[in-house]
Chains A and B, each alone.
Chain A
Amino acid sequence: MPTTITRRDAIGLLAGAAAAPLLARSAAAQPAWWQTIPAAAALVGDAQPSGQGIAIELPLVSEDGSAVDLAVAVDRPMTQDAFVESIHVFARGNPSPEVAEYYFSPLSGRAAVATRIRLNQSQTVGAVAVLSTGEVIAAARDVTVTISGCLARDDTYAATDIMQTRVRAPERIAPGGAGEVTTLVNHPMETGLRTDAAGTVLPEDIVRRLIATFDRATIFEARFHRSVAANPYLRFFVAPPRSGALVLRWEADGGRVAEERLDLVVS
């Protein structure tokens, strides 16, 4: 008995044949997330970013868009020969998509940060990592932002001691190992997008940078934009080659500066 092709089969086959070029075309037409953000596209340039070795942690659903926990880690060695130079975070659905940049050194030990960011709406949050080899890694995550029924929240800023800092580092770090530093600075991170009761725009007033030096050499730097949540919070790693002084320096608008010094013990 000869094989017959029914009408449905025939349509299926045709559709299958037609689908492949269609899919290829739509993939080409659909830009990658970083291509839709000028600053991210400029960063990537002509590189073909891979999505391997980068992890973005975000809640699937955030119930408070004013402070969403975000962690980014790039799983690559941090040696003098090759290391992760920087990680750049973008939130495409915010009024300005740049969130923060983090600059590492081999003495960072690990290219991993955790912070809290503002998300205006449900959207895609992406990170681009640039390696000293010129390699670029990029990834993105979708996050749903909602304000839950019982969580009615006002956006008044209550903290009193602006530029007050908190720092915690391990009591000792094993030779060759990395230790995590947790830090926070009190600051409203005024976005420049809000108006007061009289309708006057409140000018942008934010913490711009955190610089970490070890024995006076910069080993890590973070640059903040308006999408970093009030009271900037940051966790990052240090891998000091010996015991010594870690100095953290925050720089904010209006010339405001705060400094903290910690003695790190390597043994």
Chain B
Amino acid sequence: MTINRRTALGLIGAASGAAILGMPSIARAATGRVVVVGGGFGGATAAKYLKLRSPDLAVTLIEPAARFYTCPFSNLYLGGLIDFEAIGHSYDSLAALGVEVVHAFASDVDTAGRTVTLAGGDSLSYDALVLSPGVDIRWGALEGYDEAAAELAPHAWKAGPQTQLLRSQLEAMPDGGTFVLVAPDNPFRCPPGPYERVSLIANYFKTEKPASKIIILDAKDSFSKQGLFTAGWQALYGDMIEWVSRTDDGRVVRVDAAARSVETEFGRTVTADVLNVVPPQQAGLIAQRAGVTNETGWVPVKPETFESQLVEGVYVVGDATVAAPMPKSGFAACTQGKVVAAAIIAALEGRAPPEAKWANTCYSLVGPDYGISVAGVYAVIDGAIAEVPGSGGVSPADADGAFRAREAQYAHGWYRAISNDIWGTA
């Protein structure tokens, strides 16, 4: 076995981390087994940093997919800017670090007996459990939108076959066609996502199918980075994109997937050539099985540690949680994963959790060379998660083209950096 430079740095980092952690509590090192369910931005980060900081800990990551495709940057694939494999990541580097990666579907949790059951029937016991289940579609919450409808009118809100289906429909659409995106009410995964998506599809249409049209039917009266998106659309795509607010009868109440049409609240029927429904969402199934969701379908957590408010010893990260004002974003999930790793190690060592700090940075591409961003730092203030005053901000409204082009480059850098941090692949 050879130790390459990256591994050597990792080992040194882990060793010094352990020494620092060990100092205040010489009596107890973190041992036992932590099971992490879900290998996305939150879960894979938690697994990596648990193992990195506490090498004696047995860390098992349960994730059905051998290769994970990210929602961030999936809009670039939809717009034809990158290949699908560019957003795929393996778990090889986590395995190399000593994380036991089990490719299976976690179907149930017994929080009293502290075991996770896999779809095959096997079960794993744990001392601490991390759930990073992401979102599930609330099938039927929007009338007419069920799993069969999603095969005709894809949601593409979980990267994978749905994303590829939507891309193939866009490619097959004739010039002069209409792409309709149905946007949900808050809260949902990735608040700027629908608006970046139409931006990059508009860019594809502009070059390949310039007579086409895009309509966003929105259940909201305002959306993420709205002023920046709207100005960018005007600058790059003229009047190709029409956004219909809830007040202007943009809220969709019924979907007819076979006809690729939708009905709005006040009775208008809108027919599409390609229909993309971003439906109402809730925490992933395993969160419900674990009993950590409340009546909203999302997971309330203790702010300091992201331990469930409802079930002791179960930590939950990512889009499934109620972490507002932190958004449901990949970057937020990643920092939550790091906080949870530190909190679990502290708990296993019998220490109080370290003070938590989180961050979010979110880039959206309005065009290939036109990026915008929002950032914020979060901490526990007066017992609740809050944005640290003055910590963040959004791109200026009056920036020039060179500024937008640099932010587009930063977006690519952002993606490489976070992918490398979590999966060791960029």
**B247–A159 contact, CB under 8 A?**
yes
Does A67 interact with chain B (Cβ within 8 Å)?
A: yes
| Interface-side segment among B52-60, B84-92, B325-333, B408-416 | B325-333
Does A60 interact with chain B (Cβ within 8 Å)?
A: yes
Does A21 interact with chain B (Cβ within 8 Å)?
A: no
Main secondary structure of the interface of B (DSSP, over half): loop
Does B353 interact with chain A (Cβ within 8 Å)?
A: no
In A212-253, the 8 Å CB interface with B consists of 230-231, 233
CA distance A138 to B226 in the complex (A): 39
- List of B residues within 8 angstroms of A150 by Cβ: 190-192, 224-225, 327, 329, 360, 362, 374
**Proximity string of chain A (58-89) to chain B, C-beta cutoff 8 Å, 1 when within and 0 when not:** 01110110110100000000000000000000
In A138-188, the 8 Å CB interface with B consists of 144, 146-154, 158-159, 166-168, 182, 184, 186
**B267–A59 contact, CB under 8 A?**
no
**B187–A168 contact, CB under 8 A?**
no
Can you name the residue of chain A whose Cβ is closest to the Cβ of B358? A149
Does B294 interact with chain A (Cβ within 8 Å)?
A: yes
**B265–A63 contact, CB under 8 A?**
no
Does B186 interact with chain A (Cβ within 8 Å)?
A: yes
- List of A residues within 8 angstroms of B245 by Cβ: 158
**B249–A63 contact, CB under 8 A?**
no
In A111-136, the 8 Å CB interface with B consists of none
Does B8 interact with chain A (Cβ within 8 Å)?
A: no
- List of B residues within 8 angstroms of A158 by Cβ: 245
CA distance A182 to B222 in the complex (A): 21
- List of A residues within 8 angstroms of B396 by Cβ: none
Can you name the residue of chain B whose Cβ is closest to the Cβ of A169? B267
- List of A residues within 8 angstroms of B247 by Cβ: 159, 184, 186, 230-231, 233
**A64–B265 contact, CB under 8 A?**
no
CA distance A142 to B421 in the complex (A): 39
Q: Select which of A67, A148, A153 is within 8 A of B324 by beta carbon.
A: A148
- List of A residues within 8 angstroms of B332 by Cβ: 149
In B264-316, the 8 Å CB interface with A consists of 265-267, 294-296
Does B176 interact with chain A (Cβ within 8 Å)?
A: no
In B351-403, the 8 Å CB interface with A consists of 360, 362, 374, 376, 378, 387, 392, 394
Q: How far is the CB of A64 from chain B (nearest CB, A)?
A: 6
**B326–A166 contact, CB under 8 A?**
no
- List of A residues within 8 angstroms of B296 by Cβ: 59-61
A149 with B221, Cβ < 8 A, contacts A61-B324, A63-B324, A154-B227 known? no
Q: Select which of A148, A149, A154, A168 is within 8 A of B186 by beta carbon.
A: A148
**B266–A166 contact, CB under 8 A?**
yes
**B186–A151 contact, CB under 8 A?**
yes
- List of B residues within 8 angstroms of A182 by Cβ: 265-266
A149 with B392, Cβ < 8 A, contacts A63-B187, A231-B221 known? yes
Q: What are 19 A-B contacts with C-beta separation under 8 Å?
A: A60-B296, A63-B186, A63-B325, A64-B220, A64-B222, A69-B185, A146-B325, A148-B186, A149-B326, A149-B327, A149-B362, A149-B392, A150-B192, A150-B374, A151-B191, A167-B266, A168-B267, A182-B266, A230-B247
Q: Could you list which residues of chain A lie within 8 angstroms of chain B, going by C-beta atoms? A: 59-61, 63-64, 66-67, 69, 144, 146-154, 158-159, 166-168, 182, 184, 186, 230-231, 233
Q: A63-B324, A149-B360, A150-B374 are in contact. List 10 more A-B contacts (CB 8 A).
A: A64-B220, A146-B324, A148-B187, A151-B222, A152-B394, A153-B222, A153-B226, A168-B266, A184-B247, A230-B221
Q: Could you list which residues of chain B lie within 8 angstroms of chain A, going by C-beta atoms? A: 185-187, 190-192, 220-227, 245, 247-249, 265-267, 294-296, 322, 324-327, 329, 332, 360, 362, 374, 376, 378, 387, 392, 394
Nearest first, the 3 closest Cβ-Cβ pairs linking A and B are A150-B191, A150-B327, A149-B327
